Structure 1
């Protein structure tokens, strides 16, 4: 994702989530863990027009490109930061990708995954905020 765009310094980076350097958030405090795209990533991509989700039951490894995100600007894969089995996908986000754009940390979640590893190597909110500033 391009660093040339002006990035607003008041991005929302919820404290209770963990983050990947590929701009994906994980909420491992719930079972199954919830995975979504950060506000920074949404701002970089622009308005999403298509989301290709994996099927529930799909086994993924950390680093796998598991979701294809298409915006008016680019086609970008979502790189999964954790390993596990996809249990649920957000069909509403697939039907209306604008949900992700408008509410990336709420209704715009992308998938729920049963984690293999209880301690994935992710960034804290503070570390992620420094990365995107």
Structure 2
């Protein structure tokens, strides 16, 4: 099976992605991760204004198969949580890089992106 791995994102070993636009970063879980989880039924996310530290857990995604912690790919302040997921968690399955995004974060340190996997490195990891 072939998974979508956008070239404009960086990835964590734990399958979170980050897409940077200026000083703002969108965060979500990868196509591979949503496929492994199965049907997502619940998401727990931090609130606007919460601080994230790279590598620390920031929430939970629950599927019919498993409960998985979510880890911050970057440090920063949460500027928005995707509230649509509270009513429609299946958006993560349907569109993990689009409507199924989890958070937007104001970046503390852009150099942290260097610690993440490139799209090619992530592809190698999940193959």
Q: Is the 8 A contact 1:53 1:94 kept in 2?
A: no
What is residue 128 of structure 1 aligned with on the other side?
Answer: 122
Structure-1 residue corresponding to 2:76: 84
How many residue pairs align between the two structures?
125
5+ residue gaps, structure 1, are 1-7
Unpaired runs of 5+ in structure 2?
A: none
Question: SS at 2:122's partner residue?
Answer: helix
Distance apart, 1:28 and its partner CA? 1.4
Q: TM-score under structure 2 normalisation?
A: 0.95
d(CA) in 2 for partners of 1:30, 1:18: 15
Structure with greater helix share of residues: 2
| Partner in structure 1 of residue 110 of structure 2 | 118
Off by >3 Å, runs of 4+ in structure 1: none
RMSD value, Cα = 0.9
